Amino acid sequence: MWSIGFAVFAVCCGFCAWWTYRARQSHAAATVHSPSQNAATATEAPVSWWLRGAWIALPALASVMFLAITNEVCQNVAPMPLLWIIPLSFYLVSFIVAFDHPRWYSRPLCAIPAIVLLVYMANFDGFASGIADTLNSLLGLKDASEIVLDGLVAECTVCFLALLLVCLICHCELAALKPGPKHLTSYFLSMSLGGALGGILVNLVATNIFKTFFELTLALLVATALAGWYLSRWANTRSRGAKLVVACATGLACWSSAIGKSSIR
């Protein structure tokens, strides 16, 4: 059944390739008779190397976060069957949200919770026990009625929500960098290259360099800095004081993520 299904899949791919070729031929014939469209395509600005680098780096970071968090959670936190479906679903949902419509994305609403969750994740053991002790003390809870925030469900929830927000930032910012029709092919190829590069870094490079899941610690640091940078760009439209606050908060968050002594190390 698997072999038959693979053969059907190959036939469908061939049909899609043939259909796309015909569509491109008809589109090319139509544009010959449309000087305005040809002029618009010809006047598209060339793509800078910085922009091409962003096309690769953003999906690469999302891919690294997805694979690193999946490995950490499914092997060290909660080795449960089919748990990997949740981070995979969040990773794919972020693509759907990003390329559906820009209205689903807000820099401050994604960046601020992302930074908070990334710092919390990097310092999970200390933060979870500290917050739980504070709440139990304020509410007067003891023994069986105590609030517990360092369980497997709580840690998985923090990890998966942080993954979702980071993927939303990467993919929504990537969608905002989408070029005109002339450069769409290189845009999607760069996006695919970035995703593959993230997989290579986690599955091939990191396994031969690190003895632990240290690639997740590095990914948390980079993701925190990236979220803070996009948040500072949003703060530029507000005031100088807001930009200063964001810069200080981002630096503190990166420092906290770098020295965090959680189970990730």
pLDDT, tens only, 77-96: 878 888 899 999 999 999 99
User: What is the amino acid identity at position 103?
Assistant: R
pTM, to two decimals: 0.78
Mean pLDDT of the chain: 84
Query: Which DSSP symbol is given to 203?
Result: I
CA dihedral of residues 202, 207, 213, 215 (deg, nearest 10): -40
Which of the four pLDDT bands, split at 50, 70 and 90, describes residue 188? very high
The tally of CA atoms less than 13 A away on the side-chain side of residue 162 is 26
Amino acid 262: pLDDT? 44
Return the domain boundaries, the chain: 49-259
User: Residue type at 255?
Assistant: W
pLDDT digits (tens, 9 = 90+) for 209-223: 888 778 888 999 999
Closest CA to 175 of 262, 84, 3, 59: 59
Instruction: Look up residue 245 and give its two tokens.
Output: 């606050």
